[in-house]
Amino acid sequence: MINSTHVSYFKLAAYFDTGILRYLCFMIVMLLYILALCANVFLIVVICMHRSLHEPMYIFLCSLFMNELYGSTGLFPFLLIQILSDVHTVSASFCFLQIFCVHFYGHVEFFILAVMSYDRYLAICYPLQYNTLMTSNKVMILTASVWLSSVLGIVAMMSLSVPLQLCGNIINKVYCDNYSIVKLSCSDTTVNNIYGIIYMFTIIFSLIVLILYTYIKILKVCFSGSKQTRQKAVSTCTPHLASLLNFSFGCFFEIMQSRFNMSNLPMMLRIFLSLYFLTCQPLFNPVMYGLNLTKIRIICKSLTLGKRK
To the nearest whole number, what is the mean pLDDT of the chain?
85
> pLDDT by residue (tens digit) across 66-88?
999 999 998 999 999 998 888 88
Q: Which of 50-54, 59-63, 83-87, 262-266 has the highest mean pLDDT?
A: 59-63
Q: What architecture does CATH give domain 9-304?
A: Up-down Bundle (1.20)
Q: What is the CA radius of gyration of the chain?
A: 21
- Model confidence at 309, in pLDDT bands (50, 70, 90)? very low
- Cα separation of 3 and 166, whole Å? 7
Residue type, 174: V
DSSP letter (8 states) at residue 87: S
> pLDDT by residue (tens digit) across 123-173?
888 888 999 999 999 999 999 999 999 999 899 999 998 888 888 889 888
- Cα separation of 95 and 257, whole Å? 19
SS3 category, 9: strand
> pLDDT by residue (tens digit) across 280-297?
899 999 888 887 777 787
Q: 174 with 156: CB under 8 angstroms?
A: no
pTM > 0.75: yes
What pLDDT does residue 3 have? Answer: 43
Q: Is the pLDDT of residue 234 over 80?
A: no
- Model confidence at 307, in pLDDT bands (50, 70, 90)? low
Cα separation values, 243 from 82, 111, 151, 247, 289, Å: 29, 13, 23, 6, 9
Q: Is the pLDDT of residue 34 over 90?
A: yes
Q: Domain locations in the chain? A: 9-304
- Cα separation of 231 and 124, whole Å? 11
Backbone φ and ψ of 15, nearest 5°: -75, 145
